[in-house]
């Protein structure tokens, strides 16, 4: 029989250490729904989503029961919507409403893919689409949006960077009654991936199949617990323990992903090996870093500790899954991680340190609340910096930042649920307006010419 200690370990992971499968995300191609007019396209998209994803909630519940591992979120990601709305610029909202309605009908948590890929240039219909994002996010509840503005291969579209600073600000202003939550559902990427199961940045890329199941595992609490017994161990042993722990949690994800795909009559896409925190105690990435030996996350040594964590998670996870993809790494969203919230409150972490951390882990400046009166060009500057890190280092980076209306440094914002709460963080008071207003395209780095 299976080793008794292993059985108890698995049960403890779930019961005491918040181990779960964070999300089952069904990627759906909606190209077949494109028509000349907004209403027909939106209706066809709604029908296809409801037809394909109607079982996803039940399947997730059944699998959670079968294996004794909770599956927290059930989501759908779609073909980047800017490609679906190309025939009817100015009427994109009709599709946004249909997507939100489909999410509610299927009972899923979020639908992602109200997205545009403009990393090299922008068509007129993509410009119109991006302009629709603030309104679309203000009238929907479960829809998420993302825009890719740069890549290692094509450089950074600085016109799009400038535009996204304004779009983020407008998204926050249109949802001012909810502390700018619209911009919490909007992420700006460099090197966006096509198979990401995590929100707000999930979309079903154009290279993806008709119906794909991507799964995101999680388990910061499990890694944290495993490190507690290594008080005086060398960093090699810490890395080894993280690797082994990542292996175990990823294997559970792989098992659930393959079976979910079968039951949903879909292709198994990837397992995303991310450590995704939640605002509850015992589910924090910051606490892992502190367990490694930091007094408070954000102090010197944080970037090194995070780099090691991120790498060890990947090494363990790659061995455990036949298909690894998505963002795969450690997430450092401020408002969604109890350790990061505390560090932001105490001043031990600031935007500059967060930026450094994003150069060694997945994603980027995530769920950071900043003053509502921050100039749009300053937000664009933050985006440009993150894009540069991603472009030069051949990795995905992103910005999900909330300029909270009518709040400033010293105030706090409460988004509720998984989005958590955060103190408003300080941004530089110096302007980058001239740089941002130059527009154009920042050339791709020399190492992009690999052919």
Provide the binding-site residues for another protein, judged by CB under 8 A. Answer: 1-4, 6-11, 15, 62, 65-69, 248-249, 251-252, 254-255
Beta-carbon count within 10 A of 366 CB:
24
Q: Are 155 and 442 in contact (CB under 8 A)?
A: yes
Q: How many CB atoms lie within 10 A of CB 281?
A: 11
- Secondary structure element (H or E) that encloses residue 237, with its range: helix 235-263
Q: Two tokens at 385?
A: 């910096």
Closer residue to another protein, CB minimum distance, 164 or 255: 255
Beta-carbon contacts of residue 245 (< 8 Å; ≥ 6 apart)? 219, 222, 223, 226, 316
CB of 215 to another protein, least distance (A): 13
The nearest distance, CB 209 to another protein, in angstroms, is 25
The CA-based diameter of the chain, rounded to the nearest angstrom, is 68
- Cβ atoms of 447 and 393 closer than 8 Å: no
Rank residues 202 and 252 by Cβ distance to another protein and give the closer one: 252
> Shortest gap between Cβ of 299 and another protein (angstroms)?
34
Give me the least distance between CB of 250 and another protein, in Å please. Answer: 9
- Considering the complex, what minimum distance in angstroms separates the CB of residue 195 from another protein? 22
Residues 131 and 127: their CA atoms lie apart, in Å, by 6
- Report the distance separating Cα 133 and Cα 115, nearest Å: 9
Please identify, using beta-carbon distances, which residue of 62 and 131 lies nearer to another protein: 62
- When the beta carbons of 3 and 451 are compared against another protein, the nearer one is 3
Sign of CA dihedral 407, 368, 348, 350: negative
Asked if the peptide bond before residue 200 counts as cis, ω within 30 degrees of 0, the response is yes
Paired tokens of 223: 């890694």
CB 286 within 8 A of CB 334: no
- Least distance (Å) between residue 252 CB and another protein: 5
Residue 251: CB minimum distance to another protein, A: 4
Nearest distance, CB of residue 268 and another protein, angstroms: 14
Q: Which is nearer to another protein, 46 or 247 (CB)?
A: 247
Closest to another protein by CB, 54 or 259: 259
For residue 109 the two structure tokens come to: 């948590």
Q: What share of the chain is helix, strand, coil (3-state, %, to 5)?
A: 50, 20, 35
CB of 284 to another protein, least distance (A): 22
Counting every residue, how long is the chain? 451
Nearer to another protein, 149 or 217 (CB): 217
Residues 415 and 278: their CA atoms lie apart, in Å, by: 13
Q: Which is nearer to another protein, 4 or 451 (CB)?
A: 4
Cα(404)–Cα(334) distance, rounded to whole angstroms? 14
Shorter beta-carbon distance to another protein: residue 153 or 251:
251
CA distance 39 to 42: 5
């Amino acid at each position: 029989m299976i080793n008794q200690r292993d059985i108890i370990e698995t049960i403890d992971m779930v019961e005491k250490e918040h181990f779960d499968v964070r999300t089952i995300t069904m990627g759906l191609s909606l190209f077949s729904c494109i028509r000349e007019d907004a209403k027909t396209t939106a209706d066809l998209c709604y029908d296809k989503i409801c037809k394909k994803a109607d079982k996803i909630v039940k399947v997730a519940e059944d699998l959670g029961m079968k294996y004794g591992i909770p599956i927290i979120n059930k989501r759908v990601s779609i073909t980047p919507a800017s490609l679906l709305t190309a025939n009817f610029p100015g009427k994109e909202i009709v599709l946004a409403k249909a997507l939100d309605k489909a999410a509610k009908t299927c009972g899923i948590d979020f639908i992602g893919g109200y997205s545009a890929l403009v990393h090299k240039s922008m068509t007129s219909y993509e410009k119109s689409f991006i302009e629709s994002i603030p309104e679309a996010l203000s009238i929907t509840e479960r829809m998420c949006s993302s825009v890719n503005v740069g890549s290692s291969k094509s450089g950074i579209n600085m016109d799009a960077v400038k535009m996204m600073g304004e779009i983020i600000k407008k998204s926050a202003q249109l949802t001012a009654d909810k502390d700018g939550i619209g911009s919490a559902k909007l992420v700006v990427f460099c090197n966006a991936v096509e198979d990401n199961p995590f929100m707000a940045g999930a979309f079903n890329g154009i290279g993806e199949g008709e119906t794909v199941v991507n799964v995101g595992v999680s388990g910061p609490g499990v890694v944290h617990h495993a490190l507690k017994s290594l008080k005086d161990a060398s960093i090699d042993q810490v890395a080894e323990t993280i690797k082994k722990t990542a292996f175990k949690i990823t294997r559970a994800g792989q098992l659930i992903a393959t079976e979910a795909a079968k039951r949903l009559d879909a292709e198994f896409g990837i397992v995303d090996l991310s450590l995704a925190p939640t605002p509850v105690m015992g589910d924090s990435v910051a606490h892992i870093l502190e367990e490694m030996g930091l007094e408070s996350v954000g102090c010197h040594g944080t970037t090194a500790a995070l780099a090691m964590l991120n790498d060890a998670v990947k090494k363990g996870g790659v061995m455990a899954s036949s298909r690894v993809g998505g963002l795969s790494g450690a997430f450092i969203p401020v408002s969604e991680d109890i350790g990061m919230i505390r560090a932001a409150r105490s001043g031990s972490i600031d935007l500059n340190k967060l930026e450094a951390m994003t150069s060694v882990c997945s994603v980027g400046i995530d769920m950071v609340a900043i003053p509502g009166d921050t100039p749009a060009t300053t937000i664009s500057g933050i985006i440009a910096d993150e894009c540069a890190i991603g472009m030069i280092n051949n990795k995905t980076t992103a910005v999900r930042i909330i300029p909270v209306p009518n709040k400033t440094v010293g105030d706090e914002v409460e988004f509720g649920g998984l989005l958590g709460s955060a103190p408003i963080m300080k941004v530089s008071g110096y302007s980058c307006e001239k740089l941002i207003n130059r527009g154009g395209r920042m050339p791709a780095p020399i190492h992009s010419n690999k052919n």
